[in-house]
A and B are shown apart, each in its own frame.
Chain A
Amino acid sequence: MALSLDAAVSGMVQQQKNIEAIANNLANVNTTGYKRVKIHFQDILDSASVFAALTTGVVEQGEVSESAGVSTAAMTRDFAQGTLQPTGRQMDFAINGDGFFRVLLDDGSMAYTRSGIFLLDGDGKVTTASGELLEPPLQLPPRFRGLRIELDGEVSVIRDYTDAELADLGPFDPRDGVRVPVGQIELARFANPAGLEAIGNSRYRETPQSQPPITGTPGQEGLGAVFSGWLEASNVDIATEMTGLVMAKRGYQLNVVAFRTIEDMLTQANDVTV
């Protein structure tokens, strides 16, 4: 009987976790590169005698076996592609594929992100919005007229002609500048991205589950192309999350009702002499 109260409480606790996960997904619906979290429940075994039977390997037919509530088996991240949104800002990069940008953390370790909002620091080095350097390092010259990022991640700047070069130009040659390659954006992908560990600020860290990263230039197998002037929206679908929220809320309520009803019964048990 206390068992059934425990089951109802476990139901409430897990639905609460579910609601937290959904609330977090909804809060990040506008976070660039955010990947939604899914929660997965499993039942838990109660009966100690059955457990003993299981461990000794002897199980008998018709043995009473029931669960004692519910627990969370896994919270996994869904790395499905988010939609690409145009921003027109050249330093916004979106990946259309499985790749991640590599960024160097302050402690020297490597992190991976899908959030493609990049900035320039004082030295012209490309950093993430939270200030980590892109890896491999990419430095832009102090002055340039234009920036070009190819789908395969090749970055070049367009600089003005020097006076000497201008003198060499013929009268009908275009005068829109000289293209100078300055670097290459590399991406990394993982055999099992669901195994990545989230460390905040849309960054992830590799774990034994995720397997070591496979790096390469954008466009190579599965890495995906880099689109400059676009950002990847979160892959949170509001309709799905809202449905999940309603279900979780109803699930929670039902467990509360079960708890109250059983609790009433236990009160009556204490009142048998009345």
Chain B
Amino acid sequence: MIRSLYTAASGMVLGLRQQDVVADNIANSSTVGYKAEQSAQTAFGGVLARRIGPADGPVPGRVDEVIGQVGTGAFVENVRTYLGQGAERETGAPLDVMVRGDGFFVAQTDEGVRYTRDGHLDRDDQQRLITADGGRILDVDGNEIIIDTDRVRVKSDGTIHRLVETETVQPDGSTSVDVVEEFVAQLQVVTIGADDLVRAGDSKFVAVPGAALTPVDYAAGGTFILQGSLEEANVNIGQTATRLYSVARTYQSNQRVFAEINKTLESTVTELGRV
């Protein structure tokens, strides 16, 4: 009896915990490069239900046999990150880049190396390429990227080129402008398994020690870098809103069950006790 009270309570605790995750996804539904959270719940180890009583049949005695298992509730075991592709939003800004396919940009922050899908880049006072909150973006060799102009072209393999314009005067007196691409650096983009990533805030992730970091192989296809676009959060609004309500209703059911059990227990205590 008391056990069922705890089982119902565990359902309520679970509901609130699941709602943490849902609220988070909703709050970040317009955060560039945000990857949705998913909570995975699991059942507490059950207990064996036994039938104990006088044995039927000719031989007097008692039975004590296992008739099945009784669950004792559920809890959120872990919160996983869903790494699915977010929608593409075109911004037209030369320093906005997004990864289409697998892969993370690598940024050096004051706390260490971080991985991010947020490609809203900027330049700081030392002309370094940085994330919106100041993390230095690294190139394939792990160096900071220095660019002195916004006139850049980022190719699909993550190479950054400065556009250098040179004016030449033609024999007939008119001027023509030649644009030459000058290689600056190649963005470092690595793939990491979802299990090896831990959220580090600021739209960034940190890799667990010993995680396998694989540089993206553009030749294999599937992954490329887009300039002038940003990746929207991969939060499915409809699904998330549905989950918000379904969790709330499940919670309500658990609360009803809890209240009913509580009432039954009350009768047990007050009425059975009255002789």
* Chain A residues proximal to chain B, CB less than 8 Å: 1, 3-5, 7-8, 10-11, 14-15, 18, 38, 40-46, 50-51, 53-55, 57-70, 73-74, 76, 78, 80, 191-195, 207-209, 211, 221-222, 247-248, 250-251, 254-255, 257-259, 261-262, 264-266, 268-269, 271-274
Whether B78 contacts A41 by the Cβ 8 Å rule is: no
Q: Mark B236-269, 1 if CB is under 8 A from A, else 0.
A: 0100110011001001100100110010000000
- Bound complex: CA of A264 vs CA of B32, how far in Å? 30
Q: Sort A-B residue pairs by CB-CB distance and give the 4 closest, nearest first.
A: A45-B201, A11-B27, A4-B23, A73-B132
Of A15, A69, A73, A76, the residue contacting B24 (CB under 8 A) is A69
- Chain B's closest residue to A13 (CB) is B27
What does DSSP make chain A's interface, helix, strand, loop or mixed?
mixed
Whether A265 contacts B19 by the Cβ 8 Å rule is: yes
Of A7, A43, A273, which is in contact with the most chain B CB atoms at under 10 Å from its CB? A43
Whether, in the assembled complex, B179 has its beta carbon less than 8 Å from a beta carbon of chain A, the answer is: no
- Bound complex: CA of A8 vs CA of B252, how far in Å? 20
Smallest distance from the beta carbon of A191 to chain B beta carbons, Å? 6
Q: How many of chain B's residues touch chain A, expressed as a range?
A: 35 or more
Whether, in the assembled complex, B148 has its beta carbon less than 8 Å from a beta carbon of chain A, the answer is: yes
- Chain B's closest residue to A210 (CB) is B125
- Across-interface contacts of A250 in B (CB, < 8 A): 237
30 contacts between A and B (CB under 8 A): A1-B16, A7-B27, A11-B28, A14-B30, A18-B30, A40-B32, A42-B118, A42-B201, A43-B24, A45-B202, A46-B24, A50-B199, A54-B206, A55-B111, A58-B209, A59-B209, A61-B208, A67-B27, A70-B30, A73-B131, A76-B132, A192-B123, A192-B124, A192-B150, A195-B123, A195-B125, A211-B127, A258-B244, A262-B23, A268-B255
- Bound complex: CA of A271 vs CA of B123, how far in Å? 54
Whether A191 contacts B149 by the Cβ 8 Å rule is: yes
- Across-interface contacts of A5 in B (CB, < 8 A): 23
- Bound complex: CA of A192 vs CA of B22, how far in Å? 39
Q: Mark B117-147, 1 if CB is under 8 A from A, else 0.
A: 0101011110100011100000000000000
Whether B203 contacts A258 by the Cβ 8 Å rule is: no
Q: Mark B77-114, 1 if CB is under 8 A from A, else 0.
A: 01100000000000111000000000000000001100
Whether, in the assembled complex, B184 has its beta carbon less than 8 Å from a beta carbon of chain A, the answer is: no
Whether B19 contacts A262 by the Cβ 8 Å rule is: yes
Whether, in the assembled complex, B20 has its beta carbon less than 8 Å from a beta carbon of chain A, the answer is: yes
The answer to whether A274 and B259 touch (CB under 8 A), given A18-B30, A43-B34, A191-B149, is: yes
A-B CB pair tally, cutoff 8 Å: 207
- Across-interface contacts of B24 in A (CB, < 8 A): 4, 7, 43, 46, 66-69
Interface residues of B in 159-210 (CB under 8 A from A): 165, 195-196, 198-203, 206-209
Smallest distance from the beta carbon of A208 to chain B beta carbons, Å? 4
Whether B23 contacts A7 by the Cβ 8 Å rule is: yes
- Bound complex: CA of A67 vs CA of B31, how far in Å? 12
Smallest distance from the beta carbon of A77 to chain B beta carbons, Å? 11
- Bound complex: CA of A15 vs CA of B79, how far in Å? 25
- Bound complex: CA of A44 vs CA of B135, how far in Å? 15
- Bound complex: CA of A64 vs CA of B123, how far in Å? 33
Smallest distance from the beta carbon of A180 to chain B beta carbons, Å? 27
- Bound complex: CA of A42 vs CA of B35, how far in Å? 11
Whether B251 contacts A265 by the Cβ 8 Å rule is: yes
- Across-interface contacts of B12 in A (CB, < 8 A): 269, 272
- Across-interface contacts of A42 in B (CB, < 8 A): 31, 118, 132-133, 201-203
Whether A63 contacts B31 by the Cβ 8 Å rule is: no
Of A51, A251, A262, A271, which is in contact with the most chain B CB atoms at under 10 Å from its CB? A262
The answer to whether A254 and B23 touch (CB under 8 A), given A11-B28, A43-B28, A67-B28, is: no
